[in-house]
Each structure stands twice: as C-alpha cells, then as structure tokens.
Amino acid sequence: MTKKAIITGATSGIGKALAQLLSNKGYSLGLTGRRTELLEELKSSLPGSVYICTMDVAQKDEAMEQFQQLIDKLDGLDLAIINAGCGQANPDLNWEMEKQVIDVNVMGFAATANVAMRHFIKQGHGHLVGISSVAAIRGYHDVPAYNASKAFVSNYLQGLRHKAVHARLPITVTDIKPGFVDTKMAQGEKIFWRASTEVAANQIYRAIVKKKSHAYVTKRWRLIAWLVKLLPQWLAHKL
Ligand SMILES: NC(=O)c1ccc[n+]([C@@H]2O[C@H](COP(=O)([O-])OP(=O)(O)OC[C@H]3O[C@@H](n4cnc5c(N)ncnc54)[C@H](OP(=O)(O)O)[C@@H]3O)[C@@H](O)[C@H]2O)c1
C-alpha cells in the first residue's frame, strides 16, 4: 500500500530534500510552507501524488486546521515530519526576532505535532519525526531563543514517545538533531562539518526506516553533542 507523509517546511532546505527523497520512494505527500510558488514548483517536479498547502505555522489555530485537512486529503497518514523552523543570530536580543522563533519553533511545532500525534493515537499507529538540533543541548549567547526552542522540541518529542509507550501503541517518535546543514539558515555560521541537504535527507530517511528514537545528522555530531553536554560552565562561558 502507498505510504502517506506530511512534511512541514518543504519549500527549501532539509524539508525539500526529504520531499524529493520520499516521493522517489513512492510516498504520497502533503507538503507545506508559506511560499506557495515554491510548493507548486516542487509539486510539479515530483514523480508521486502531492498535495500542497500554504501554511504559516505561527498562525497556529489555522495551521492545525490545515494540517488536519491535509491528512483528510491524503486519506490517512503514516509519517509526519515536523520540520518547519527558523532562527538567526540575535546578539541584540531584538524581541520581534526572539518572538518569531518562539512562535514558529515552539508554538508552531507543538501545534502541528499535536494534530499528527492525536491522529496516530486514534488510528493506532504512525511515525512522528521532529527536526530539532544539536543546539537543543545547551544555551548560547547569540541565539538564546533558537537553542531554547530546540530544547523544547526534543523534550516535547520525549513526552510524546513516553505517551505512546504508556498507551502500548506502535507509534514511533524520532528526534532528529542536525549539526550544520547547507541551507539558508546555516549561512553566516562559523561552519564546519557542513552536510548537503541530500546527505541530511538520506540520514534522516535511514533513521525513519530503522524506527530510531534519536539520530544525529551527520552521525559525527554525536561526538560534539557529547562534548557540549560534558563541558563545565566556566569553559562554556569562554566560547
Ligand atoms: N541548516 C542547519 O544547519 C540546521 C541545523 C539544525 C537544525 N535545523 C532545522 O532544520 C529545519 C529546516 O531548516 P533548513 O535548514 O532546511 O532551513 P530552510 O531552508 O530555511 O527551511 C526552513 C523551512 O521552514 C519553513 N518555515 C519557516 N518559517 C515558517 C512558518 N512561519 N510557517 C511555515 N513554514 C515555515 C520554510 O518555508 P517558508 O519560508 O516557505 O515558509 C522552509 O521550508 C528547521 O527546523 C531548522 O531549525 C537546521
């Protein structure tokens, strides 16, 4: 039977690469993002069945309704990839920038993940994937809201995984923590170990197939995560 997936934030970067990969693997897709023309372009380039929806996840009530409508159009859902996100350096603590990150990465994430998870619980199975970040592990002076928003994402996913286990339901919840991936979001960063979007999408797909609960993208970022976790505060303050 054809598998059905929704990817939020599919107009560019990691989400777009995942859409291309899953469509080539035979998935029927529901794709979202704010830039309608990019969604239309992507749809016409993909081999499989695709529904698109112009969605701003910061408008959370509308986004939740639209997400449910996409599930209805697909006539079910096997895989939800909650990927839409934003973030940029904000050294001056500009409140509008902090707020936007929280609206999109926290409220928008939780709102769309909530609709997907409730659907999976109702149907008795499913796979929820959230795109967090290595940034979730520790706060950082230039991007306090971004790192905190990703800590929320990972912790929320942990709670949903726990819920599925408690309910004894075959629902997989996967927390993806990318390091640097070559997208607009990573521009201007002090970049090292930067993966292409294709490599990132392939590694995320492998984590999905293996039903992993956690995956670092690329895998070597596990080492950085381990070091960042162990770093004493006095040393972290020097960075
Ligand atoms: N690139 C990295 O190094 C890196 C590292 C760790 C984690 N991540 C995470 O990976 C995810 C994808 O980012 P990316 O690197 O692929 O960057 P990207 O190319 O900028 O993609 C971000 C996607 O999110 C969508 N989006 C942003 N704001 C939205 C909103 N208000 N409503 C709906 N969709 C929205 C964008 O679509 P529209 O603009 O069309 O709305 C776009 O499709 C994000 O969650 C990001 O935090 C990235």
Q: How many domains does the chain have?
A: 1
| Residue 9: CATH number of its domain | 3.40.50.720
**What are the angstrom distances between the C-alpha of 157 and each of 3, 123, 223?**
22, 19, 22
* pLDDT in the model for residue 237: 85
Structure tokens at 106: 């926290």
Closest by CA position to 63, among listed 76, 75, 80: 80
Buried b (16+ CB within 10 A) or exposed e, 176-198: bbbbbbbbebbeeeeeeeebebe
Confidence of residue 238 (pLDDT cuts 50, 70, 90): confident
d(CA 135, CA 18): 21
3-class DSSP assignment, residue 53: strand
Domain containing 169 equals 4-236
What residue's CA is closest to ligand 1, atom 33? 56
In ligand 1, the atom with minimum distance to the C-alpha of 58 is 31
Confidence of residue 190 (pLDDT cuts 50, 70, 90): low
* pLDDT in the model for residue 188: 61
Whether 126 is in the pocket of ligand 1, judged by its Cβ within 6 Å, is no
**195 pLDDT higher than 80:** yes
Q: pLDDT > 90: what percent of the chain?
A: 89
* pLDDT in the model for residue 148: 98
Mutate to test the pocket of ligand 1, among 43, 86, 101, 196 (most ligand atoms within 8 A of CB): 86
Whether 82 is in the pocket of ligand 1, judged by its Cβ within 6 Å, is no
The answer to pTM > 0.85 is yes
**Residue 209: its H or E element:** helix 197-209
Write the pLDDT tens digit of every residue in 45-78: 999 999 999 999 999 999 999 999 999 999 999 9
